[in-house]
Structure 1
């Protein structure tokens, strides 16, 4: 999706091998859709929204430093977060202070674990063509696949092997 947005919106040009990679990605989605009997709408929706996020980062990157853009994003989502936290506090479901110091520290550290990759993504999206960013986004699903199969021993029927081998 990010590659498509880069080509359609930003008028980026792809080389033949990049078009081949896009074609393989589309073929993998088609294969998985046939074997599962339905289009993976949730996955495609996530890909599209993250593609839009990358497009926004790419378009604003030249004008806004990554840290400033991240601050604006955080401020924009903060009212929603405050409402959710307040609701959890009222319901007694707020777990930030109700447990050990280690629990509180781990929970608080999730912010850093989230922000660092997003800042790095913002820096990369501002400096690279969106089509290149889209190509690099194949790395995370492949790593997740390897973790699932090699470490977690997740079952892999033949149709999944076929779809993932195309990717």
Structure 2
């Protein structure tokens, strides 16, 4: 099997797992978000550490954190991804999976805006139209629902800012995420100690200390680490062997599956305002994807001519 075929299968599997992850977290809706987030962090660290040890790349982790700049960037990235994970978990638990899916639809366009203001990247006509359509969609939802789609905006902005930070890191995605969960792990351990030993209460004032009291819940909490690490490893492999345009388009499988989970399985309401906003967002993504595909093709052509 060729590398491109393996990479295509890998990214499809990764995005499918991400897209169906609301089903997993819905099954753990009785576990308080901070407890679930803490387990997700700790078990992710275990798996990433094991993977880097197997690959003999574990020494790359301290090298990443050794310099003040590297440490600060990884710390900022860890705070952003933790906020994003926590926001996603809470959105599933409180019945806002539709808004969560909208957030991951919008985030590539937020990334384009950040690229304009942070890196001075030029916005061509196509991308400007895409951003305008997405902005109109947010305006429609704000007007129709009476409040801005805060969950969507929060998830889109935290994930887009996370991407900007990651762009500044020279380490690969597996090493950098391992560094992020490494920095978050002490906070996660402190929280779980407080939950189990001191009876701390968390968000929504629910019963805590789930781990160790039910075998199924305990295994699923451990599995949350695999749910985090597995797709990222697959995505990392795929990104090395596929064009950026292919990666960008296939990523929309994730929010599409999330939306289907929310509407068809969780039976969350889809208002007429959602019915207006969603086509606007989809149209924006089609335009954005066409522009990205064209730019990617032009870049590959230029490289081919330069090497010939």
* Structural RMSD (CA): 3.3
Alignment check: 8 A CA contact 1:148 1:154 kept:
yes
Residue matched to 1:51: 160
Distance 1:44 1:88 in 2: 31
Per-residue CA distance 1:70-108 (angstroms, 9 max, x = gap): 1210111112101111011114632222222x4332221
Distance 1:135 1:19 in 2: 18
Per-residue CA distance 1:41-64 (angstroms, 9 max, x = gap): 34323322111111111221xx11
Residue matched to 2:176: 69
List alignment gaps of at least 5 residues for structure 2. 1-109, 200-207, 282-308
Alignment check: 8 A CA contact 1:57 1:125 kept:
no
Distance 2:123 2:249 in 1: 11
Distance 1:104 1:87 in 2: 18
Is the alpha carbon distance of 1:141 and 1:8 closer, same or farther for their aligned partners in structure 2, counting shifts above 3 Å? same
What is the TM-score when the length of structure 1 is the normalising length?
A: 0.77
Report which stretch shifted further, 45-54 or 143-152. 143-152
What is the TM-score when the length of structure 2 is the normalising length?
A: 0.45
Residue matched to 1:88: 195
- Is residue 24 of structure 1 aligned with residue 133 of structure 2? yes
List alignment gaps of at least 5 residues for structure 1. none
Distance 1:142 1:32 in 2: 18
Residue matched to 2:111: 2
Distance 2:240 2:193 in 1: 35
Please state which structure has a larger fraction of its residues in helix.
2
Higher RCO (C-alpha 8 Å, min separation 6): 1
